[in-house]
Amino acid sequence: MAYRFKDTSKIPERLSGGHRMCAGCGAPVTVRTVLRAIEPEHRAVISSATGCLEVSTCIYPYTSWHDSFIHSAFENAAATISGVEAAYEALKRRGKIDEEVKFIAFGGDGGTYDIGLQSLSGAMERGHKITYVCYDNEAYMNTGIQRSSSTPLYANTTTSPAGQQRFGKVQFKKDLTMIMAAHDIPYVAQSAPYRNMKDLYEKSKKAIYTDGPAFLNVLSPCPRGWRYDTPKLMEIIGLAIDSCVWPLYEVEGGKFRLTHRPKEKVPVREYLKMQGRFSHLFNGENEEHIEEIQKIVDSRWERLLELCEES
Q: What is the C-alpha to C-alpha distance for residues 129 and 208, in angstroms, rounded to an integer? A: 9
Quick one: pLDDT at residue 130?
98
Other Cβ atoms closer than 10 A to 101: 18
Cross-strand bridge partners of residue 252: 187, 255
Pick the closest to residue 21 from 121, 87, 106 (CA basis): 106
Mind giving me the DSSP string for 216-245? EEEE---HHHHT--GGGHHHHHHHHHHTTS
Indicate yes or no: pTM above 0.85: yes
Q: What is the C-alpha to C-alpha distance for residues 304 and 311, in angstroms, rounded to an integer? A: 8
Pick the closest to residue 225 from 152, 148, 153, 138 (CA basis): 138
Q: By the 8 A CB rule, do 213 and 123 touch?
A: yes
Please give the angle made by the CA atoms of 6, 232 and 290, to the nearest 5 degrees: 120
Q: What is the C-alpha to C-alpha distance for residues 155 and 227, in angstroms, rounded to an integer? A: 11
Quick one: pLDDT at residue 95?
96
Quick one: pLDDT at residue 252?
97
pLDDT 10s per residue in the chain (311 long)? 567 888 888 899 999 998 999 999 999 999 999 999 999 999 999 999 999 999 999 988 999 999 999 999 999 999 999 999 999 999 999 999 999 999 999 999 999 999 999 999 999 999 999 999 999 999 999 999 999 999 999 999 999 999 988 899 999 999 999 999 999 999 999 999 998 899 999 999 999 999 999 999 999 999 999 999 999 999 999 999 999 999 999 999 999 999 999 999 999 999 999 999 999 999 988 899 999 999 999 999 999 999 999 86
5-307: which CATH number, 3.30.300.30, 3.40.50.300, 3.40.50.970, 3.90.226.10?
3.40.50.970
Give CA torsion, residues 267, 306, 155, 115, to 10 deg.
160
Quick one: pLDDT at residue 311?
63
In the chain, domain spans: 5-307
Quick one: pLDDT at residue 14?
96
Q: Is the dihedral of CA 15, 16, 21, 22 positive or negative?
A: positive
Give CA torsion, residues 38, 43, 45, 46, to 10 deg.
40
